[in-house]
Amino acid sequence: MYRWLQGFLFGMEPESAHYLTLNVSRALLKIPGMSRLWALLWPKVSDPWDGMGLAWPNRLGLAAGFDKDAKYLQVWKALGFGFVEVGTLTPRPQPGNPKPRLFRLVTQQALLNRLGFNNGGVEAAIPRLRQRPKGLVVGANIGKNKDTPNQDAAKDYVTCVEVLHPWVDYFTINLSSPNTPGLRDLQEAGFLDSLLEAIDRLPCQQQLRRPVWVKLAPDLAPEDWQDLWPVFAKHRIQGLVLTNTTIDRGVLGGQATEVASLGAGGLSGAPLGSKSLALLESMKAYGTAYGFCPLLVSVGGVMSGRDAAQRLAAGAVLVQVYTGLVYRGPALVEECVTAMRS
Ligand SMILES: Cc1cc2nc3c(=O)[nH]c(=O)nc-3n(C[C@H](O)[C@H](O)[C@H](O)COP(=O)(O)O)c2cc1C
C-alpha cells in the first residue's frame, strides 16, 4: 500500500508531502475505531528495555527533525516507535531557510536538506507535550537560534532545558546540524564543558536529572571527537547520538556532481550508512578503552531491519530512523523492532 501512496507523495514537493502525510495520519487516528484498524495494518512489536531510568517500549526511535514541534506524537505511538526525539527546538520561533530546502535523491535513497531549524519555539511545544501519549519515550533535541551569536549559544541551550524540563524524558544537545551557520564549531571541548556545567547547575536538573545526550556530525575528525571525551566523562553524559547528516558529497560516489546543483545542505539516508556505522564502531572501541562510554544511539542510513540489527551488534543500544521512513514507509518500524528484538 505504501508503494502506491509513495508514487503519489513523490509527485509532490517534499515538504508539502511531509506535512500532508502527517496531518492526514493524525486526522485519521481521531476517527472512532480507526486506531484498531491501524493496529491491524501496522502491528506493534513489543521489546521493552530499561535504561537511563526510563522504560522504553522498544529500541527504535524517530530521529530529530521529523516532528520538530511535537505535533504528531499519537502518530508515532500508533506506528510502533518506542521513542521520539522532537525538535530541533530553539528558544524563539524561527522560519528556517528559504525554500526550496528539501530534496529527494530517489536513486540513492537519500535526502538533502537545509531546513535550518524551522520551528515554533520551545514555549509553543509545551501544550502538545503536556498531552503526550503514555507508553512513548519523548526526548527534546535542542539548538540555538540562528541569530544568536556563538558566544551566547550556551544561554539558548540552557533556556530550552529549563522550559522543557517538566515535559520531556531526555535532552539531546544538537551541535551538529550543518544548516545553522557556525553551529558545528560548537563541537569543541571548551564550549561543551561550560554548557554542560551550566546545565548541571540548573535547579531543575539538580532536583530531577534528565539524561543529557549529545548529537555529533559524521564529518568530525577522530582527534576532534577524542578531545571531547574527557568532557563526556567529566559530566557523565548519558548518550551520544551518532550521527547527524553529512556535508561530505563523497558518500554519493559518481552522483556527486549532479547533486552539486542542489546547493548546500546535509545528506541523509542510504549513502550515509557506512559513515555513520564506522563512527559508531570507532567510538565504541574508544569509549571501551577509555573506561567511560555513554550509551550509543545510532542514526544515519538505517533503511532496513538488517541495518538496525547491525547497529546493535556494533555497540548501539538504541537506533533512530528518518530517511528510511520516507523511502520504506511504516513497515520499516515493525521490521526494525523485530530485527532488534533480544
Ligand atoms: C529533512 C530533515 C530534517 C532534519 N532535521 C533535524 C533537526 O532538526 N535536528 C537534528 O538533530 N537532526 C535533524 N535531521 C537529521 C536526522 O535526525 C538524522 O540524524 C539524519 O537524517 C540521519 O538519519 P537518516 O539517514 O535515517 O535520515 C534532519 C534530517 C532530515 C532529512
pLDDT at res. 325: 96
pLDDT at res. 177: 87
Residue-wise pLDDT tens digits, 140-166:
999 999 999 999 999 999 999 999 999
Q: Decide if pLDDT at 114 tops 80.
A: yes
Query: 270: Cβ below 6 Å to ligand 1?
Result: no
pLDDT at res. 342: 66
Query: 244: Cβ below 6 Å to ligand 1?
Result: yes
Phi, psi of 333 (to 5 degrees): -65, -55
pLDDT at res. 329: 93
Nearest to 299 by CA among 121, 119, 65: 65
Residue-wise pLDDT tens digits, 8-19:
899 899 999 999
- Written as nine digits, the cell of 301 is 542510513
pLDDT at res. 185: 87
The domains found in the chain, sorted by start residue, are: 45-340 (3.20.20.70)
Residue type (1 letter), 111: L
- Written as nine digits, the cell of 161 is 532545558
Residue 187 confidence class, pLDDT cut points 50, 70, 90: confident
What H or E segment, with its residue span, contains residue 212?
strand 212-216
Q: How far is the CA of 276 from the centre of ligand 1 (A)?
A: 13
Q: How far is the CA of 7 from the centre of ligand 1 (A)?
A: 23
Let me know if 248 is exposed, middle or buried by CB neighbors in 10 A (0-12, 13-18, 19+).
middle
Q: How far is the CA of 176 from the centre of ligand 1 (A)?
A: 10
Residue-wise pLDDT tens digits, 228-249:
999 999 999 999 999 999 999 9
User: Which runs of consecutive H residues, i.e. helices, occur in 153-304?
Assistant: 153-164, 189-201, 203-207, 222-234, 256-260, 273-290
What value does the mean pLDDT take over residues 104-133? 96
pLDDT at res. 290: 97
**Which residue matches cell numbers 563541537?**
187
Q: Which of 16, 35, 177, 261 is labelled catalytic?
A: 177
Q: Closest ligand 1 atom, CA of 272?
A: 25
Query: 38: Cβ below 6 Å to ligand 1?
Result: no
Query: 301: Cβ below 6 Å to ligand 1?
Result: yes
Residue-wise pLDDT tens digits, 29-42:
999 988 888 888 88
Q: Closest ligand 1 atom, CA of 18?
A: 1
Share of the chain above pLDDT 90, in %: 86
Share of the chain above pLDDT 70, in %: 100
Residue-wise pLDDT tens digits, 68-110:
999 999 999 999 999 999 999 999 999 999 999 999 999 999 9
Separation between Cα atoms, residue 142 and residue 161, nearest integer Å: 8
Confidence (pTM): 0.97
- Classified as helix, coil or strand, 70 is coil
Q: Decide if pLDDT at 182 tops 90.
A: no
What value does the mean pLDDT take over residues 313-328? 97
Query: 88: Cβ below 6 Å to ligand 1?
Result: yes
**Which residue matches cell numbers 509545551?**
126
Average pLDDT of the residues of the chain: 94
Q: Decide if pLDDT at 257 tops 90.
A: no
25 part of the active site: no
What value does the mean pLDDT take over residues 174-202? 92
Q: Closest ligand 1 atom, CA of 326?
A: 27
Q: Decide if pLDDT at 320 tops 90.
A: yes
